[in-house]
Amino acid sequence: MSSDSNKDYIDGVFNKIHKKIEKRITAKYDKIKDWVMDPKGYFLIDIDRKSNLLRVGYCTITKKGQNSINNLVAEITGTTAIEILNTLIKENFISSLQHAGDMGIELCKAEIALKNNLKYVQDKDLTLTN
């Protein structure tokens, strides 16, 4: 992206991109208030250092009266966040864009931790030192 903010376009890698910004938005997200459970289920992410893999468990929830039953119904393994995320989408395990975005972030953190021998805890900030 061009550093000259006075130009009315950005010199992109493949195209000239004309600046026609109609809206400026300050991003915000509340982890508690804005989070919505995906009705398809949820995932447990872990690092398998021995096999050098990311492991993702896919869990579904079934309501039975007042109780819910959680079942681990699939395990997905891979070496990169993008291959696992795209597999989750292809397998129809994710039904919301919010969940897909969250999984992308979590899987990326897990991949970085695996490749750099860092501690990974799902839904926690990744610490870049050991």
**In the chain, count of helices (H) and strands (E)?**
2, 5
pLDDT for 4 equals: 52
pLDDT for 130 equals: 59
Which pLDDT tens digits describe the chain residue by residue (130 residues)? 444 556 888 888 888 888 888 999 999 988 889 889 999 999 999 999 999 999 999 999 998 778 899 999 999 999 999 999 999 999 999 999 999 999 999 999 999 999 999 999 999 999 987 5
User: What sign does the CA torsion over 121, 33, 94, 63 have?
Assistant: positive
Q: Which amino acid is at 50?
A: K
pLDDT for 101 equals: 95
pLDDT for 48 equals: 97
pLDDT for 108 equals: 98
3-class SS string, 17-47: EECCCCCCCCCCCCCCCCCCCCCCCEEEEEE
pLDDT for 14 equals: 87
What does the block give as tokens for 90? 């292809």
pLDDT for 19 equals: 87
Which of these, 40, 80, 33, lies nearest to 56 by C-alpha position? 80
* End-to-end C-alpha distance for the chain, whole angstroms: 34
